[in-house]
Amino acid sequence: MRKTASRRRLLGAAALSLTTAAGADELKAPPPHRFWDTTNVVLFTGVAGSRAFDYASTRHFRRRGANEILLNNSIVDDKPLFIGIEAAGTALHIGVCAWLHAHGHHKVERWLSVVHIGITTFGAVRNYGLNSDVKPQ
Ligand SMILES: [Zn+2]
């Protein structure tokens, strides 16, 4: 009876140490890709491009007399401020992706860029359709 209990404890300790070793190996395993790999560089370039497209489309509809809804007119009419906001949006995006990468969420890291590009591009295309009857001032 004592031998059986002792064996069980020994087996339990061995199983625990194997589990811990496997967990440590998983933590030390390299990520499946480098953060600045070709895919992320292309995706981040796409994000920056879509932000630039958003900037240009917003300036376009402001020249045609339409009003900004998400921010306000005084912010988007201030070119350096608005460029800074678009750049900060891109930088924040890259920072969030870096966090996702560091925590092993590689699929979400990639898809976040795809969704960002999609939503921003959709909004920019829509911006070009705003108030198109108004003549430029
Ligand atoms: Zn990653």
DSSP string, 14-41: HHHHHHHHHHHHHHHSPPSS-TTSHHHH
Start-end of H helices in 64-105: 73-77, 79-102
Flag the least confident range among 18-27, 58-67, 109-118, 127-136.
18-27
Ligand 1 centre distance from Cα of residue 114 (Å) = 14
Residue 12 Cα, ligand 1 centroid: separation in angstroms?
Answer: 35
User: CB–CB of 51/85 below 8 Å?
Assistant: no
Q: What is the pLDDT of residue 26?
A: 55
* 60 confidence band (pLDDT: 50, 70, 90): very high
**Assigned token pair, 12:** 């339990």
With tokens 């440590």, the residue in question is 24
Residue 47 CA to ligand 1 centre (angstroms): 16
Q: How far is the CA of 90 from the centre of ligand 1 (A)?
A: 17
Looking at residues 33-55, what average pLDDT do you find?
A: 97
The residue type at 14 = A
Q: According to the model, what pLDDT value does residue 65 have?
A: 86
More confident residue, 74 or 11: 74
Burial of 7 (0-12, 13-18, 19+ CB in 10 A): exposed
pLDDT at residue 70, rounded to an integer: 86
pLDDT 10s digits, 75-123: 999 999 999 999 999 999 999 999 999 999 999 999 999 999 999 999 9
Q: What is the pTM of this model?
A: 0.74
Taking residues 11-38, report their average pLDDT: 65
